[in-house]
Amino acid sequence: MISATNVDQYISGFSDDTQTKLIQLRQLIKETAPQAVEVISYGMPGYKLDGMLVWFAAAKNHIGFYPKANVLEVLKDELTGYKCSKGTVQFPLSAPLPVDLIKKIVQFRVEENHLSTKSKVNKKTAIR
């Protein structure tokens, strides 16, 4: 696959079945974080809002979802049944995407980034 310069190009490089899942995941992210900016980062689709929120990438048998490690630790009980590693959860292509879980992860990341940005602003204000 060639290096994609935008998310449409990235998605178009996969089979129809995989494209369907990628489009669904993309839509879930955009619905949950409508102000997020879509980018290609590390060669895969990513979403920024007060910093990076999440990334995703298709593989042979799964979609890798990369929301950062801390959210996976917080939601570990809800992730049983999915292969996880530090900062990554794998959604098998053979199963439906866990819509509610994905929305919960994205919302968590939105709130986490917002709090982090707010904290940085407060620290700068306190220094003055």
The pLDDT tens digits of the residues spanning 7-31 come to 999 999 999 999 999 999 999 999 9
Instruction: Give the distance from CA 61 to its chain's centroid.
Output: 18
Residues in the chain: 128
Where do the domains of the chain lie? 7-127
Who wins on pLDDT, 72 or 124? 72
98 CA to centre of own chain:
13
The CATH architecture of the domain made up of 7-127 is Alpha-Beta Complex (3.90)
More confident residue, 115 or 57: 57
DSSP string, 44-106: EEEEESSSEEEEEEE-SSEEEEE--HHHHHHTGGGGTTSEEETTEEEEETTS---HHHHHHHH
Tens-digit pLDDT profile for residues 30-71: 999 999 999 999 999 999 999 999 999 999 999 999 999 889
Give residue 126's pLDDT: 46
Question: What predicted TM-score, i.e. pTM, was given to this entire model?
Answer: 0.88
Give yes or no for residue 2 having a pLDDT over 70: no
Residue 33 contacts by C-beta under 8 Å, 6 or more apart in sequence?
47, 49, 53, 106, 107, 109, 110
Q: What local confidence, expressed as pLDDT, does residue 116 receive?
A: 79
